[in-house]
Amino acid sequence: MLLELAAELRAARDEHRRDITQLRTDLAGLSTLLGENADLLGQVMIRLRDLEGELGELADRVDTSSSAPSPHQPTMATTAGTIAAVGSPIGRPR
């Protein structure tokens, strides 16, 4: 009976060692994947910062162009000048 128990203990110890070896292999693979993902994340963050800068520049350009008078939209000064030259259409008979 003691011999059977000793054999079971040896088998369990061998299985435990195989499990430990497999876990170490799996952990090494996970560590490699984490390292690769960290590298990719670093590259993405650099590109994201670049895109944020480009977006800021574009927003500045939009603000600048929207605050400048459009050649197609008359300003108050040109509208007043046209009314003075032509006369106001308000109150004219149709």
Tokens 């011999």 correspond to what residue?
Answer: 3
Q: How far apart are CA 54 and CA 31, in angstroms?
A: 35
Mean pLDDT over 2-15 rounds to 95
Rounded CA gap, 3 and 12, in Å? Answer: 14
- Domain-wise residue ranges, the chain: 2-62
Q: Judge whether 75 and 69 are in contact, CB under 8 Å.
A: yes
Give pLDDT, residue 65. Answer: 86
pLDDT at 9 over 60: yes
**Is-above-0.85 flag for pTM?**
no
Backbone angles phi, psi at 68, to 5 degrees: -80, 145
Give the mean pLDDT of 68-91. 59
Which tokens belong to 72?
Answer: 């197609």
